[in-house]
Structure 1
Amino acid sequence: MLVRRSLPRALGSVSRVLDYRGIPSSSNLAPITINKKQWIVVDGYKAKLVTPTHTGKGTTGIFIDSLWNAGSDTDKFQINGENLTPKQQQQLIAAIRTLKFYQHPNKRKQDNSE
């Protein structure tokens, strides 16, 4: 719980400070959770699927942390929609489940040179 309080002007130009009071726990935070997160597999990659707790209010999307490595770079993937209708949300999730990822072009060049 954030509490605003005023400070005396003598302490400087800051007139308000936010303090945290209370102990966060899953029971305290559950009512304000906007999105649900679950782990799924898309084309063999572990992915985080995010859906809104209440359809139409929140984010629907996917995040894959590492598709492949090319040298010192790691390629990631993310796609999402905000405040989608129930039909749009179903269409996006259906599209996400059909994603296919192909081998990185730099990786193909390395494999062909061997």
Structure 2
Amino acid sequence: MTLKESFRDSINRETVVDEAFCMKLYGFSLYDPQYFEEVKFICEALYDLLFEKYEGWCQKYDDKTRQTMLEVGAWYRKRLEEEQERKKVMSRNGQSRRERNRFAGFPEDW
């Protein structure tokens, strides 16, 4: 088990909620590379809490808190979809380039 996995297992719900509020406060604009992993981790944890592992647990929070968590979760879900689409396009572009090179007689990795 990696340190990140260990930390993920030990994270508590209140920490995720607090981080979600911080992210909303800063407008989800924490794109500074030094914070990327932390932001990504918090988003993943929040996503897990909201949509996968603990369905329904957030009902104990007030409407404002739930709305914030859902906004951050939706923001992260959108970023995940954008990243997956970007990877698909890059993969298709790479595959097309390899095919063109092969038909042109060039090495595949050229």
- Tell me the TM-score normalized by structure 2: 0.26
Report which of the two has the higher share of helix.
Answer: 2
**Larger relative contact order (Cα-Cα within 8 Å, sequence gap ≥ 6):** 2
Q: Kindly name which structure, 1 or 2, has the bigger radius of gyration based on alpha carbons.
A: 1
Report which of the two has the higher share of strand.
Answer: 1
- Tell me the TM-score normalized by structure 1: 0.26
